[in-house]
Each structure stands twice: as C-alpha cells, then as structure tokens.
Chain A
Amino acid sequence: MRLTRRQRLAGVAMVVVGGLTLAACGSDSDGGSAGGSDAVITVYGTNPQNPMIPTATNEVGGGDPIQNLYAGLVAYNADGSVVNEVADSIDSKDSINWTVKLKDGWKFTDGSPVTAQSFVRAWNYGANPANKQLNNYFFYPIEGTDDVGNTTDGAKEMSGLKVVDDKTFTIKLKSAESDFPLRLGYSAYFPVPDSAFDSSGKITKEYGDHPIGNGPYMLTKKGWEKAKQIAMVPNPDYKGAHKPKNGGLTFKFFNSTDSAYSAVQSGELDVLDQVPPSALTTFETDGDVKAYNEPGSSFSSITIPERLPHFKGEEGNLRRAAISQAINRKEITEKIFNGARTPAKDFTSPVLDGWTDSVPGNEVLNFDAAKAKDLWAQADKIAKWDGKFQLAYNNDGAGNKEFSEAVANQIKNTLGIDASAKVYATFDELRKDVTDRTIKTAFRTGWQADYPSMLNYLGPIYATGAGSNDGDYSNKQFDKLVSEASAAQGDARYKLITEAQTLLLKDLPALPLWYQNATAVTGQDVKGFVFTWQQKPQYYALTK
C-alpha cells in the first residue's frame, strides 16, 4: 500500500492525539481556599496514606490533619499538660473502673450531637480485627481485648465498654492504670458520628475521604484534594480549649522536606515542622526564615537482644555497659546531627512531667573509654569474646547510616573489636527481621510516645511480653515497679519510675542514645509558633 505524505502525517497525528489523551485526563487547576477574616496558614504536609479515619490513621500525613479535625475526651496543651475537652469528668476510685461523663452541647460538623455512643462505637470499630484498623493496638488496656488490642474471640465489641446513657459511659481496664485518661487525647480515641457508618456497620470510603469531626477545624468543601492539599477552616461550633486564632489551615503536600524548606524560604509555605538534614547546619542563621530548635519527645536507642551470643546474664550486662560507655553521644549529636539531637540521660524524654537528668546509675551513658575497656575485659574473663558486633539500621531514614557507622566505629576504636553497621534498605525489612526474631545483630530502635507520660516509654517496650519489647527483656522487679507506678499518684509515682529506670540502666535492655530535637522553620511573618509535646506546631495558635 502506497501512502501520500499527507496520509503519513495523519498517522503520526493519530498516535500523538492518542498519547495526549493520556495527559489530558484529570488535570484541574484551582488554588486557594476561602478564608475567614484572618489569614489562612499553609503548613507542611504529606498525602495521607490511609483513609482519614481516626482508628485507621497511624502516620503523620493523615495524623496531623486529624488532630485538627477532631476533639477527643481530653486535649493536650503545648507543655504536655492535659485538659478535659469533650469529657466533663473522667473518674475512677480504683484506677480500673472509669466513668466518663460528657459535656453538653458538643456537635459534629454535620450537626449531629457527640454522645457516649459516638466514642464507644468508634472504639469498638477500631478494636475489631475484621475492620482492619491499624490503630487497634491502642485499645489493649481495655477489658475484652488481647495483648495487641483486638477484641477477643471474634467479638464485635469490647466487654470493658458500657454506654450508660447519652452522656455517660464506663470503661473497665485489664489492670489498674492511674494515667489512663492521659491516653484519651490520642487520635485513636476520637469519636466518629453515626453518619460515617454504612448499613452493614462499616465506615464508608466517602467518610475516609472527607471526614466529619468535632474538632477546632472542619474541612472545606473540597477538603482533601489527593496529591495536592487538605484545606480546613475553623469550626464555628467548636467549644473546646484550642479555639483557632487563624482563618484556617492548608496542609500542602510535599515530596521532600528539602523542597518544603525552599518553599518556606521563598514565602510559598508558612510552616515546616521538620528541618531537612541538608539545612540543619544553616537553618538557625538563615535570614529568610524564623528557626526553632528544642529537645523533643522522640527517643533513640540501640537494642541488643539477650539471645545474641555473649549478651546473656552477667557477661551480657558487662558487655552492654562497656558498649554504652564506648559511645561518645555528645560527639555524634554535634558532628553528625549538628545539634539536632540531645544526648540521652534516661529512657524517656525531657519534655515530660517528672523527667530528671539525674536518674541514679545514668553515668553508664557517659563516654568513658577506660571504663569501657575495663568492663569489656571483665566480661572476657567470664567467656572470651569472638565474632563481631554489628548494628542494624534502616537506610530510608535520614541520618541513620551516618550515626550507625559512627557508633560502630567508636565501639571498634574504643574496645578494639570488629564492629560494623549493617544496612537494611527499608524500615519494614528491618522490622520484619526484628518482629520474627530472626535478626542476629543489635539494631536501632526508637520510640515516640502516644500520650505524655513517662510510663509510656517504659511499659510498652521493656515490660515482660510487651508488644514492642523487641529485645525480649524480662525483669520481674521492673514489671512490678511499673505496675505499681501505674497505680500510684504524684511524687510516689515519679519515685517508682526513677527506681524502674535505675534497674534498666543496670540491665541496659536498650542503650539510650539521644532525644531527637524538635526543629522547625516558619516564614518571617508567622507568629505564635509553639511546639507541642509531640513535636508538632500548636496549629490553632499560628497567626500571620
């Protein structure tokens, strides 16, 4: 078949048009959201990975917006103190049976009232494994759940929750916990309106895309625009402690904190709550931005499981203490993290009530080469060291490679043993080996508390059989102290916590490394920036 030039061009044009239709689908352009009288603040965000349901969201992309869209029974102030929000009172005589009474007049933004049922139904939904909610773990203290927070024996509801009337419900715990109300400001405990559920009792996809809450803010009509932003405006019916001072929030999504930092420099973005490693040396002297840097609530450590050869019993304790004192924490926080970490003094975080830098026994966290060599030699008398020491880290977190190699080098140089860092490409690869207990090396661990209590840094990680006890540490005395502290109040409680920490410093189930600092930059015209205890901006207080 012979073709003229024109026919050939037509063929080319056809293919081009076909290709362009690919490009044409779904590009809309519309910027800006309606603001009130005050300015709308744009803040750094990432596209939520899960549906925006309180019990389904466990990462910051969805978590930060949800914190602003919902109000729980209690709310956290910036200093870590707790105020009643929707709850009028949360009382208990024995720290096991709790009665929650709700305030009058709270409404969801669809107009329906916030009732006891709104909480109980949402929590039961989260705890039922059939609903595949990632936050089910948070319900483990409540009776009727197993160790990881699933309702037991296929039940749809937790036996520990009872609705008394519209404004009252009761919670029965598995064991006494005096700080249980502190937990209730966490997003997993937020209420969900009845309109969220379909006829079969599942929370609908539409709700996950456009959640209806009772918090300081509510979504605009467009709300969550996938891969672009989440826009919210103040909720006029909100009655709580964190009344917005700005005209709304827009979470703009970024691929990387690097590009977000440039956006703050140029004024395209108002607030970035996480300074990228590339800017850590310069952000505090950068004239284009306002900088914030203070110790935060996230704790980093190295876990050396007892099942590793040479790390059992007396020998193991000596070796752990030796390794701990072979690490020069100060040098690493300064040289590698440019001061964005603070060397650890205990197993918790300095932002919490009751924290002290003088837990007895914490000199084991100081660098002391001579002491380290001596301890290592003592351990060698019990059994001669052979093999090598490896520290596993995941390479998808910024700074992990650098600090792991530095720690390994310090151990190698101080103790004169073969020590190296072992790379895992991603976080989930490392977690898999840790969870399966197939990991044959020491590994990096971290903890960010779910509620502002020192016990949240101890019980879930080091208590016998606890869910995040990756090193399978077990010490009856420690368990006893933690459960006593859970039931105690005031100074008695802090004393018990200090005693428990002293035990940990002796056994070193994990070697505390440092507290991660909260770092942030804002535009020059942004006012009212404060960190919460969760290292997040106090969003409602931001103004321009």
Chain B
Amino acid sequence: MWWYIGKRLLQTIPVILGATFIIWALVFLRPGDPILGLFGDKPASPAVKAAIEHQYHLDENFFVQWLYFLKGIFTFDLGDDFRGQAISTQLQNAFPVTVTLALMALVFEAIFGVVLGTIAGLRRNGWFDSTMLVATLIMLAIPIFVIGFVFQLFFGVKLGWAAVTVGGDWTVSKLILPAVVLGIVDLAYTLRLTRTSVAENLSADHVRTARAKGLSPGLVVRNHVLRNSLIPVTTHLGVNVGGLMAGAVITEGIFNVPGVGNLAFRSIQQGQSTTVVSVVTVMVLVYVLMSLLVDLLYAVLDPRIRYA
C-alpha cells in the first residue's frame, strides 16, 4: 500500500504541471493590463510601468513567464504579487481559515446527511422520509446567498446567537454559522444519496442472508447495510472538500471570512496571475490528496478492494 501511496503522490507532479499551465494560459489570455490597473484612474508613467513589468518578467513571452513561476514553486519561493506583497503570506493567511471552514461544513453535512439519510432509507416512504424529501428539495432550491443573508440577519443581527461577521481574528465558534450555510446544499445531496443507497442495500442478497442467519436488525444495518451504502457517499464527500473550498466565495463574502475564495476572486479581478496560479496549485494538491484519501477509505469500507 505504501508503494501505491507513493505512486499516487508522484502522479500529482504532471497534474500540477498541466493545471498550472492551463490556468496560467487563461489568466494570460484575460483582456486588460494588470499593471495599468495598478495606477487606478491616474495617468500611468511608461517608465514605471516598464520597470514593474520587467521586475515580474511580464516583458518575457508567455512560456518563459510560466517557467519562472514553476521555478518559484520548486524553490518554495513564490515571490511577490504585482503590488509587492508576498504571495506566500497571502496563502498562509487565507488557507487555514478556508480549510477549517470547509472541514466544518463537511463534518456538518456528513453527520447530519448520513444519519438522517439512513433513517429515511430504513423507513422508506414513511412520514419521516417524506418530510426529508420536502426539506431537501427546499434546501436545494434556495440559492446559497439567500440562505446566507437570511441566516446572518436572523441568527446574527436579530437574535444575536452567532457572530455576524468572522474577520481576521476568526475562531471555530465564529465559523459555525458560515459552515452551516456552506454545507447546507451538500447536506441535502448527501442525505438523498445515503437514503437511496441504504434503501437499495436493504433489499440486497447479502442483507437477506444476514437476516436469515438471525442477526439482530441493528447489526444488520450497521455491518451490512451501512458499510456498503457509504461507498458512494464517501466519494461524494471526498470530492466535495475541494468544491467546498473553491465554492466558498459567496459564503466568505457574506460573512467576511478572509479565505481562499476571496483571495482568488480578487486576484482574478486584478489579473494577479502569480497569485491566482499559486492558489490553484494548492487547490490541486488538496483535490489530489482528497481523492487519494477516498480511494484508501474504500479499502477500509470494502474488504474486497486492495491496493498493491
């Protein structure tokens, strides 16, 4: 298995090369001139503009610029953005809070999604199942910014139960409300998925056999239904972590979370190509790591799966 993990980690290298190249090309193709943008509505001095372009290799061709960036990655020196702020500091400030937020949202949706989904699946077509169906449909139908603003106004401003904004001095307790908002759509999805999967497994052959052997209903559900049902759910949750991090832009904006989504959004707006690609590189690492984790979890859940 260690060899398998090593092999998978080695595979990240071409993935990073490819992803950074594509993103680099996209930011490069973006119209406009980020250096001109630095000057705002004041006239830009050609001499200063040329000096800044030279400093950040913007006067080189596209491919050479990309190589400079790669050199930065492999020497662990990402350098500065076009305004002279260290990119590594920006990443260090943005990632911890977003990772925490995404994991909290994941825990929230995993626990509630799996538990409620299992109950709904076991009591298929009962009143609980029907209630959950309606509830999840509502969750899926309301856009996240509506949920965000409503929760903020209701729980934050009116009731005062939760912090209205998070800010730079974030704590786990301040992140609870944003995490719930971020996780709510995926919660609905996880719930539906678990419910269907459990319902399907209940009528599977091996479950019937287990029942026939005289195992108690609790054991049957825990060991034979749930374990098998969790495989698709695990895939969904694992892949979702990356999505939660990248998709947090709106939630981060509403609750003022100084995280990755906003860093990326601002950097794209300003054409800060090096920052954008640095963010993407870390995101690619997260995705690769998560999919590896999911694959390894399969082996835990399903003894038939083996890696060599």
Q: How many residues belonging to A are interface residues under a CB distance threshold of 8 Å? A: 81
- The answer to whether A268 and B32 touch across the interface, beta carbons within 8 angstroms, is no
CA–CA, A431 and B40, complex, Å? 9
Is B152 in contact with A432, judged by CB distance below 8 angstroms?
Answer: no
Instruction: Give the distance to chain B from A107, nearest Cβ to Cβ, in Å.
Output: 28
B281 in the interface (beta carbon within 8 A) = no
Interface residues of B in 36-87 (CB under 8 A from A): 36-48, 51-52, 55, 83-85
Contact pattern, A 5-20, Cβ under 8 Å of B = 1, otherwise 0: 1011101101110110
* Distance between Cα atoms of A23 and B2 in the complex (Å): 24
Q: Contact between A58 and B286 (Cβ–Cβ < 8 Å)?
A: no
Q: Would you call A130 an interface residue if the criterion is a C-beta within 8 Å of the partner chain's C-beta atoms?
A: yes
- A22 touching B286, Cβ below 8 Å: yes
When distances are taken between beta carbons in the complex, the residues of chain A under 8 Å from B306 are 2-3
B40 touches A266 (CB 8 A): no
Is B117 part of the contact surface with A, judged by Cβ < 8 Å? no
Q: Is the CB of B169 within 8 A of A12?
A: no
Within 8 Å by CB of B308, from A1, A15, A129, lies: A1
Assembled-state Cα–Cα distance A400/B258 (Å): 26
Shortest CB distance B293–A (Å)? 5
**Stretch of B16-24, B126-134, B202-210, B247-255 that contacts chain A:** B247-255
Encoded as 1 (CB less than 8 Å from any B CB) or 0, chain A from 255 to 272 comes to: 110111011011011000
Instruction: Count A/B pairs, Cβ under 8 Å.
Output: 213
Is A58 within 8 A of B308, CB to CB?
Answer: no
Residues of B within 8 A of A27 (CB): 96-97, 100
Contact between A11 and B5, CB atoms less than 8 A apart: yes
Q: Which of B236-277 contact A (CB under 8 A)?
A: 252-258, 262, 269-271
Picked from B46, B55, B299, the residue with its CB within 8 Å of the CB of A8 is: B299
Chain A residue contacts of B297, Cβ below 8 A: 12
The verdict on B300 contacting chain A, using a C-beta distance below 8 Å, is: yes
Most buried by B among A59, A129, A130, A255: A255
Number of residues in B with C-beta < 8 Å to the partner? 76
Contact B156 A266 (CB under 8 A): yes
Contacts of B43 in A (CB 8 A): 137, 147-148, 467-468
Taking a contact as CB atoms under 8 Å apart, the answer to whether B48 and A428 are in contact is: no
Tell whether A384 is near chain B: CB-to-CB under 8 Å: no
> Is B48 a contact of A129 with CB atoms below 8 Å?
yes
Complex contact A7–B99 (CB within 8 A)? no
Q: Is the CB of B44 within 8 A of A432?
A: no
Within 8 A of B (CB), among A457-509: 467-468
B92 touches A25 (CB 8 A): yes
Among B157-165, B185-193, B214-222, the one that faces the other chain is B157-165
A79 in contact (CB, < 8 A): no
With A9-B300, A58-B39 already in contact, the answer to whether A396 and B152 are too (CB < 8 A) is no
In the complex the two chains form, is A228's CB within 8 Å of B164's CB?
no
**Cβ of A261 to closest chain B Cβ, rounded Å:** 10
Contact of A265 among B3, B85, B157, B255 (CB under 8 A): B157
* Contact B36 A262, beta carbon cutoff 8 Å: no
Measured CA separation A424–B30 after assembly (Å) = 12
Give the docked Cα–Cα distance between A339 and B161 (Å): 34
Residues of chain A within 8 A of B165, CB atoms compared = 254, 259-260, 262-263, 268-269
B25 part of interface (Cβ distance < 8 Å): no
Q: Encode contact with A along B135-157: 1 for CB under 8 Å, 0 otherwise.
A: 00000000000000000110011
A426 to B271, CA, bound (A): 10
Interface presence of A312 (CB below 8 A): no
From residue 1 to 50 of chain A, which have CB atoms closer than 8 A to chain B?
1-3, 5, 7-9, 11-12, 14-16, 18-19, 22-27, 29-31, 47, 49-50
B9 to chain A, nearest CB (A): 9
Beta-carbon contact of A132 and B52 below 8 Å: yes
The reply on B89 being an interface residue by CB < 8 A is: yes
In the complex, residue of chain A having the shortest beta-carbon distance to the beta carbon of B100 = A23
Which residues of the other chain, B, contact A265 by a CB distance below 8 angstroms? 157, 164
Mark contacts of B92-109 with chain A using CB atoms, 8 A cut-off: 1 yes-contact digit, 0 otherwise: 111111011001000000
Q: List 18 A-B contacts (CB under 8 A).
A: A3-B306, A7-B1, A15-B289, A18-B289, A50-B85, A58-B39, A135-B42, A205-B84, A227-B90, A227-B94, A228-B258, A255-B257, A256-B254, A258-B253, A427-B37, A428-B32, A428-B36, A468-B42
List 12 additional contacts besides A27-B100, A58-B39, A255-B256; criterion CB under 8 Å.
A2-B306, A15-B289, A15-B293, A22-B95, A31-B169, A132-B51, A205-B84, A228-B168, A255-B253, A428-B34, A428-B36, A432-B33
